[in-house]
Amino acid sequence: MSLLSGRTGRAHIAGGLFLLLVLIALYVRDDIIRPFGGDILVVIFLYFALRAVTNWPRATSALTVLAFAVAIEISQGLGLVERLNLDGNPLASVILGATFDPMDLLAYSIGAALAFLADRT
């Protein structure tokens, strides 16, 4: 069995992607990789993390993660953080985000498609 197959492999992929996302958040200050690439990678990370802990089919996992990401983006457009008076809470701002951007929806879709296509097991 390969190191990158099955649940353990998906957990390794998710862990590696998490580390990459942390490095991007800490050290990358640009207009493409951090915002757009990070949004693609976070969906791929969530997909592999979900597949590491469930027996859900690939399509179900990809659509669930995509729906979750879209819901978060919609909450940004509706100003949910402010409406819940959490705008001073850094954790809420990181998890729910602060700014709606329709390009994020494209990034999430690309991430879900790439994760679906990359996960062949």
Q: What is the pLDDT of residue 120?
A: 83
Range of the domain at 56: 6-118
* Structural domains counted in the chain: 1
**Residue 51 belongs to some domain of the structure:** yes
- pLDDT for 4 equals 65
Residue 1 inside a domain? The answer is no
Interval 80-92 mean pLDDT: 88
Which H helix or E strand runs over 114? Answer: helix 102-118
Q: What is the pLDDT of residue 98?
A: 79
104 in any annotated domain? yes
Rounded CA-CA distance 47/114 in Å is 10
| 91 band by pLDDT with thresholds 50, 70 and 90 | confident
